[in-house]
Amino acid sequence: MSINTLGKIAIGVGALGVIGVGGMLLAGCGGPKEQDPESKLLEDFQKFDRNPRDNNWTQAETNLFTVGRPYIGARHNTYRIGDTQFYEQSVLHTETTSNMDRLFAAARGNDAVASLAELKSVALRFDADKNGTLSRSERRDFDNQFEASERSRTIVDSTTTGFYIVNDYPSNPGGYVPPTSGGDDSGYIPPTSGGDDNGGYVPPSNGGGYVPPSNGGNTGGGDDNGGGYVPPSNGGGSTPPSNGNSTDNGNPDTGDF
């Protein structure tokens, strides 16, 4: 309810001496307990009174057509292609047709004009306790019979298509870049796969200082302690078919020193 409307109500009730301490008592959105019929009628029907606004309603003034301001509607017809979400959105406005035909027909005089006094006489028919004001229930009964009727429709002015990028992939801390698969090789570069080679791995190395075709020591990783082995040696400093230790001088006729 607007401030102007409250002012009208306060003036009407004040004339009857019903204003209490601190102003008129209001009860939520039900309005005042008692309301002057004239303020009720102006609140509901003065918008029909135009050209000029003189508190007299002619037949031509009983119908009112209003156009609302344009507004942007909700997104619709959404669809997604890859990481792009597309949608349509419209600019709309509302057109409302309302009339006070029922009250005008009941209130108009022989001059085909319904004055405020004539409207008030109709409203007072619902003053059941005859106190000169309308209670909430009395106003409800009046509205059930003479409330202005409204019919609205929504008009689409234009429709546009928009889009936005969707980033709905889960976060993956640790620097992981596909297609690595497990391990804590934070600096992983394909085609390495797993282990804790910490990004230093470069194929075809497979751990330690191993360089094929050496197969001595711990060639599967760690420190390749096969020494400077060069095939066909298979241990120590021997030459086949000797397989003695590193003091073998390679002469089968001479013993070790």
Mean pLDDT within 130-135 = 97
- Tell me which residue of 242, 211, 212 sits closest to 234, measured CA to CA: 242
How far lies 120's CA from each of 11, 35, 47, 115, 136, in Å? 16, 12, 16, 9, 16
Most confident of 64-73, 176-185, 247-256: 64-73
Looking at residue 54, what is its pLDDT?
95
Most confident of 16-25, 67-76, 191-200, 208-217: 67-76
Q: Side chain identity at 216, as an amino acid letter?
A: G
Give the whole-angstrom CA distance, residue 102 versus residue 105. 5
Give the least confident one: 34-38, 39-43, 121-125, 165-169.
Answer: 165-169
List the structure tokens of 190: 């394909």
Give the whole-angstrom CA distance, residue 64 versus residue 86. 40
List the structure tokens of 175: 């620097």
The number of beta carbons lying within 10 Å of the beta carbon of residue 248 is: 19
Give 257's DSSP letter: -
Tell me the whole-structure pTM to 2 decimals: 0.50
Dihedral of the alpha carbons of 47, 49, 50, 54, in degrees to the nearest 10:
-130
H or E stretch covering 137: helix 136-146
Residue found under tokens 């200082």: 209
